[in-house]
Amino acid sequence: MRTSALCAALLALALAPELARADDAGADADAAAGSGAAPYIDFRDLPELPTVVFEDAAARVAVVAARRAEEDIVVGAAKREQSLGNVASAVTVISSDRLRRFGYRTVSEALRAVAGLFVVDDRQTPRLGIRGVQILGDFNTRILVLVDGATVNEPWNQFVGISHDLPISIDEVARLEIIRGPVSSVYGTNAFFGIINIITRSADTGARAWGRASGSSFKGGGIAAGFATGNVNRQVRGSVSGTNRGGETIDVGGFEQSGNDAQTSSDGMVAYAGAVTAQWGGLFAQVRAYQRQRELPGAPFEVNTGDDRNRNTDRQVLIEAGYTRAFGKKTTATVRAYFSRYQFKDFLVYEDAADPTLLNHQDIGNSTWFGAEARGRFEVLEKNRLGITLGGEITRDMVTSEAFDDGGDPADTIDIPTDFTVAGVYTEADSTLTKWLSLTGGLRFDNNTAFQSALSPRAALFIHPRPKQDDVGVKLLYARGFRNPSPYEAFFEDGRDLVANDALKPEKIDSFEAVLWGRPRPGLSLRLSGYHWRLKDLIESVDVDVNPDPAIEELRLQSQNIAALQTTGAEVEAFYRNTRGWVGFAQATYAYVHREGDSGQAVNAPEVSAGGGLSSPAFRGVHLSTEVVFLTGRRTREDTKTDPWLGWNTTLYMPRWRGLDATIGVKNMLALREQVPTQDDYDRTDAAGNPVSVPTLPGEGFEAYARVGYSY
């Protein structure tokens, strides 16, 4: 093995208290088993780490190091490394080991089993709900998604994907950080409900070259490959991936009432992604790109049902480069610059042999943005008595929107350009007042030339009753966040279904939270949160009459600041890993969501979401993992309620066999289809011109899949 016994011994000395407790736990386990043997761990059951001498003490060191490195360190909450006990948010970290064991193929699959989160997939794109709140029609604009610190959200519609519409392959992911609550005090707009920070593998922890192929009962398959060379400080990595999905044949309620076939198989998807990243000392750079084309089985905006030409296409290129340097032991500074381009394009089929005046329609949204950020952290007083972070960021956004009928008069094309600049400055101070008490406070000011300016504060108090053990603590948290309207919401209109509203205001959120966390024994982490969110001026689409003649009704959809919500509840989360190779987690969230004081008006708000999973040690080289996800019923737009839903997934994962790895999995083993609430652009009219409501679409059914890979 490459790392010396001396390194292991030094690490063991630094972590002596935890190792002592690990010895006690191992002794207790051995006594219970009647073996009397020393604690033992199979290194294949750990997340990938720099290897150490295969000795008993080194194995125990690796257990502690794995837990701390992958599950106890957070980067995205403050743009610097922090321990979970000192992060001013309620955070969950999903390690690469958990991603592989449970067979997750996309980020959205992994997020379904996280406390407080639920995924709404209406077969356009998976949309994330947090703590009982998911605004129908929202394209994840209220969460901020980062890849190695680079923002993926685009400025035209502030859209960001969490599935195949991301510039990353799941095979690249080292860990996911789920940071709940507003973090506008550091990031500005979009960090509204929370942050998903995706951290990729380093060259020193991954394979030098790898490739994987997959297949699915949804008439789909995919390939992925990558390479890595260098070490932790000097490296180059790259990856490519492609996925093709034929999809399912599903029954869509309401279609038959409008004279169309209720059954459709237009459920396909094709996606590609590629990336190259590099690091040389303090220099870092990444180039990422993806394209996804998704058929629309739900046939929104009354397009022809069952036509596989109905589709949305998203593509994005992201480029980032920067430099980080430490000046002595007290000061670090980072500068970075970025350039990105995104395009959305749809194709909506209206043609009808009985009505030749109907033309197919296209909408195109283009956005190009570039900018720079500089930040520094200064240790003003030693021993963490006072640290100050200062930063500034400026972004130039150039956005255009187009809408036209395919084959129509070019003079009728709607072309809407929107250029604006966003500048923000922020600061954060953290201080250790005593051994058991510390605090953090931050503030950011954002100026947007197209919309209103915003001031975003955040404060946190941390109490560590037993500072020497560092095994229990309390966080008291407050934060205010905002989300500016997007140019799509404020300025876009298509001449058919949508009308602009340039009077939109920013959305606002105030978050109050108390977090109790603890590590009652080695390998076990617990968290209990009580929270209260107040949200106002939320933007929703509503029908408005655009015809000035009161005798003629002509309805269009318009975005308006009409919603005020509150969500109050509790969240519990547990994670366990032991030296035998068992991994388990459990979580549950209760969310009381009310709109204008009335819980009966809160749409798409599950009162309870819960889940759990268990993964075995490698038996004959194979891990068996299983998990369940549960949601209570949700109110739809039509004042009905969906049925509760229980999803059960099982995975067999073989980490290595002669250089191969293999995963065989089954999703939704009970074949219970979730009823997915939809926004009102899915509604239709029948042959007599009467409205037909389509308040839900069926979720995905039973799916079997397999993945096989090779790495060296």
Can you give the pLDDT at residue 70?
Answer: 57
Task: Give the amino acid at 216.
Answer: S
pLDDT, average across residues 579-590: 95
Can you give the pLDDT at residue 71?
Answer: 61
Can you give the pLDDT at residue 30?
Answer: 34
Can you give the pLDDT at residue 296?
Answer: 95
**pLDDT > 90 in the chain, percent:** 71
Task: Give the amino acid at 649.
Answer: N
Can you give the pLDDT at residue 689?
Answer: 79
Domains and CATH numbers, the chain: 1-71 (no CATH), 72-711 (2.40.170.20)
Closest by Cα among 202, 175, 197 to 100: 175
Can you give the pLDDT at residue 180?
Answer: 97
CA atoms of 437 and 435, how far apart (whole Å): 6
Can you give the pLDDT at residue 501?
Answer: 95
Between 166 and 596, the more confident residue is 166
CA atoms of 653 and 664, how far apart (whole Å): 7
Can you give the pLDDT at residue 48?
Answer: 36
Between 360 and 73, the more confident residue is 360
Q: Are 610 and 640 in contact (CB under 8 A)?
A: no
Q: What is the pLDDT of residues 487-518, one digit of tens each?
A: 999 999 998 889 999 999 999 999 999 999 99
- Whether residue 44 has pLDDT greater than 80: no
- Whether residue 575 has pLDDT greater than 90: yes
Residue 353 confidence class, pLDDT cut points 50, 70, 90: low
DSSP for 526-550, please give it: EEEEEEEEEEEEEEEEEEEE--S-T
Residue 67 confidence class, pLDDT cut points 50, 70, 90: very low
Question: Looking up tokens 């550091």, which residue turns up?
Answer: 186
In this structure, what are the phi and psi dihedrals at residue 605, rounded to the nearest 5 degrees? -125, 90
Between 328 and 628, the more confident residue is 628
Alpha helices in 52-191 (DSSP H): 56-66, 96-101, 107-111, 184-187
pLDDT, average across residues 198-223: 93
Q: Which residues of 673-710 are buried (b: 16+ CB within 10 A; e: fewer)?
A: bbbbbbbbbbbbeeeeeeebbbbbbbbbbebebbbebb
Q: To 10 degrees, what angle do helices 16-33 and 5-14 make? A: 100
- Whether residue 349 has pLDDT greater than 50: yes
**pTM score, whole prediction:** 0.90
Task: Give the amino acid at 191.
Answer: A
pLDDT, average across residues 573-587: 95
DSSP for 166-197, please give it: SSS-GGGEEEEEEEES--HHHH-TT-SSEEEE
pLDDT, average across residues 516-525: 92
- Whether residue 39 has pLDDT greater than 60: no
